[in-house]
Amino acid sequence: MSGDIYKILYCSKNLIEGEHAQQDAEISQILQAARRNNKEQNVTGALFFNSSYFAQALEGPKLAIERIFEKIQRDPRHGDVTVLSSQTSGQRDFPEWSMAHVAPPDEVASASMAVTLDTALSHPAASADGVIGLLRSLVIQED
Protein backbone atom coordinates (compact mmCIF):
# COMPACT_ATOMS: atom_id res chain seq x y z
CA MET A 1 0.00 0.00 0.00
CA SER A 2 1.27 3.47 -0.80
CA GLY A 3 0.19 4.73 2.66
CA ASP A 4 2.43 2.29 4.49
CA ILE A 5 5.22 3.72 6.59
CA TYR A 6 8.58 2.00 6.59
CA LYS A 7 10.37 2.07 9.94
CA ILE A 8 13.88 1.25 10.96
CA LEU A 9 15.27 1.28 14.48
CA TYR A 10 19.00 1.02 15.00
CA CYS A 11 21.67 1.65 17.57
CA SER A 12 25.36 2.30 17.16
CA LYS A 13 28.44 3.22 19.14
CA ASN A 14 29.23 6.91 19.29
CA LEU A 15 32.61 7.54 17.65
CA ILE A 16 32.49 11.35 17.84
CA GLU A 17 35.74 12.51 19.36
CA GLY A 18 36.32 15.51 21.57
CA GLU A 19 35.04 17.03 24.75
CA HIS A 20 31.36 17.21 25.71
CA ALA A 21 30.92 20.67 24.13
CA GLN A 22 32.45 19.48 20.84
CA GLN A 23 30.16 16.45 20.77
CA ASP A 24 27.12 18.63 21.50
CA ALA A 25 28.06 20.94 18.62
CA GLU A 26 28.38 17.95 16.28
CA ILE A 27 24.97 16.61 17.37
CA SER A 28 23.44 20.04 16.85
CA GLN A 29 24.72 20.03 13.26
CA ILE A 30 23.41 16.50 12.70
CA LEU A 31 19.97 17.50 14.01
CA GLN A 32 19.81 20.67 11.88
CA ALA A 33 20.61 18.73 8.70
CA ALA A 34 18.27 15.85 9.61
CA ARG A 35 15.34 18.13 10.38
CA ARG A 36 15.75 20.05 7.14
CA ASN A 37 16.28 16.97 4.95
CA ASN A 38 13.70 14.77 6.69
CA LYS A 39 10.96 17.34 6.33
CA GLU A 40 11.59 17.49 2.58
CA GLN A 41 11.40 13.67 2.34
CA ASN A 42 8.38 13.16 4.65
CA VAL A 43 10.56 11.36 7.22
CA THR A 44 10.00 11.53 10.96
CA GLY A 45 11.79 9.98 13.90
CA ALA A 46 13.74 10.37 17.11
CA LEU A 47 17.45 10.39 17.95
CA PHE A 48 19.02 9.50 21.28
CA PHE A 49 22.66 10.37 21.82
CA ASN A 50 25.03 10.13 24.72
CA SER A 51 28.80 9.85 25.06
CA SER A 52 28.64 6.13 24.25
CA TYR A 53 25.71 5.45 21.92
CA PHE A 54 23.24 6.56 19.30
CA ALA A 55 19.74 5.09 19.03
CA GLN A 56 17.48 6.28 16.27
CA ALA A 57 14.05 5.55 14.90
CA LEU A 58 13.39 6.60 11.30
CA GLU A 59 9.98 6.35 9.63
CA GLY A 60 8.61 7.35 6.26
CA PRO A 61 8.77 6.32 2.61
CA LYS A 62 10.89 3.18 2.24
CA LEU A 63 13.23 4.57 -0.40
CA ALA A 64 13.95 7.70 1.68
CA ILE A 65 14.60 5.64 4.82
CA GLU A 66 16.92 3.28 2.94
CA ARG A 67 18.93 6.21 1.54
CA ILE A 68 19.27 7.84 4.95
CA PHE A 69 20.27 4.59 6.60
CA GLU A 70 22.92 3.90 3.94
CA LYS A 71 24.49 7.29 4.79
CA ILE A 72 24.40 6.47 8.51
CA GLN A 73 26.16 3.16 7.91
CA ARG A 74 28.98 4.96 6.07
CA ASP A 75 29.19 7.81 8.61
CA PRO A 76 32.48 7.64 10.57
CA ARG A 77 30.71 8.99 13.67
CA HIS A 78 28.90 5.63 14.02
CA GLY A 79 30.44 2.29 14.92
CA ASP A 80 28.84 -1.15 15.09
CA VAL A 81 25.60 0.06 13.46
CA THR A 82 23.03 -2.57 14.41
CA VAL A 83 19.47 -2.78 13.09
CA LEU A 84 17.09 -3.64 15.93
CA SER A 85 13.99 -3.77 13.73
CA SER A 86 12.73 -2.84 10.30
CA GLN A 87 9.10 -3.11 9.34
CA THR A 88 6.22 -1.60 7.45
CA SER A 89 3.40 -0.09 9.46
CA GLY A 90 0.30 1.99 8.92
CA GLN A 91 1.23 4.68 11.42
CA ARG A 92 4.19 6.64 12.73
CA ASP A 93 5.58 6.58 16.26
CA PHE A 94 6.88 10.17 16.01
CA PRO A 95 4.49 11.94 13.60
CA GLU A 96 5.15 15.46 14.91
CA TRP A 97 8.92 15.26 14.71
CA SER A 98 11.10 15.59 11.60
CA MET A 99 13.74 14.49 14.11
CA ALA A 100 13.15 14.64 17.83
CA HIS A 101 16.28 14.76 19.95
CA VAL A 102 15.83 12.90 23.17
CA ALA A 103 18.09 12.97 26.16
CA PRO A 104 17.66 11.22 29.47
CA PRO A 105 16.40 13.55 32.19
CA ASP A 106 18.99 12.41 34.73
CA GLU A 107 22.01 10.16 35.34
CA VAL A 108 19.86 7.16 36.30
CA ALA A 109 17.91 7.32 33.03
CA SER A 110 21.15 7.81 31.10
CA ALA A 111 22.70 4.74 32.72
CA SER A 112 19.54 2.74 32.03
CA MET A 113 19.56 3.75 28.36
CA ALA A 114 23.28 2.89 28.08
CA VAL A 115 22.66 -0.60 29.51
CA THR A 116 19.69 -1.06 27.17
CA LEU A 117 21.76 -0.06 24.13
CA ASP A 118 24.74 -2.16 25.18
CA THR A 119 22.38 -5.15 25.34
CA ALA A 120 20.79 -4.15 22.02
CA LEU A 121 24.12 -4.37 20.21
CA SER A 122 24.47 -8.01 21.23
CA HIS A 123 20.76 -9.02 21.10
CA PRO A 124 19.12 -6.74 18.51
CA ALA A 125 15.77 -8.45 17.96
CA ALA A 126 15.15 -8.96 21.68
CA SER A 127 15.89 -5.30 22.43
CA ALA A 128 13.82 -3.46 19.82
CA ASP A 129 10.67 -3.05 21.92
CA GLY A 130 12.63 -1.76 24.91
CA VAL A 131 14.59 0.78 22.86
CA ILE A 132 11.55 2.14 20.99
CA GLY A 133 9.69 2.33 24.31
CA LEU A 134 12.49 4.37 25.86
CA LEU A 135 12.64 6.70 22.86
CA ARG A 136 8.87 7.26 23.03
CA SER A 137 8.91 7.93 26.77
CA LEU A 138 11.84 10.35 26.52
CA VAL A 139 10.21 12.27 23.65
CA ILE A 140 7.00 12.59 25.67
CA GLN A 141 8.97 13.84 28.71
CA GLU A 142 10.70 16.50 26.62
CA ASP A 143 7.59 17.55 24.69
Which domain range does residue 109 map to? 5-142
Predicted confidence (pLDDT) at residue 108 exceeds the cutoff of 80:
no
- Residue 58 banded pLDDT, cuts 50, 70, 90: very high
Predicted confidence (pLDDT) at residue 75 exceeds the cutoff of 50:
yes
Question: Which parts of the chain fold into alpha helices (H)?
Answer: 20-41, 62-74, 107-122, 124-142
Supply the pTM of this predicted model. 0.85
- Residue 56 banded pLDDT, cuts 50, 70, 90: very high
DSSP 77: T
As a whole-number percent, the residues of the chain with pLDDT over 90 amount to: 45
Give the Cα separation of 13 and 57 in Å (integer).
15
DSSP 90: S
- Buried b / exposed e across 62-77, counting CB within 10 Å, b at 16+? eebbeebbeebeeeeb
Total domains present in the chain: 1
Predicted confidence (pLDDT) at residue 113 exceeds the cutoff of 80:
no
CATH code at position 116: 3.30.70.100
- Residue 118 banded pLDDT, cuts 50, 70, 90: confident
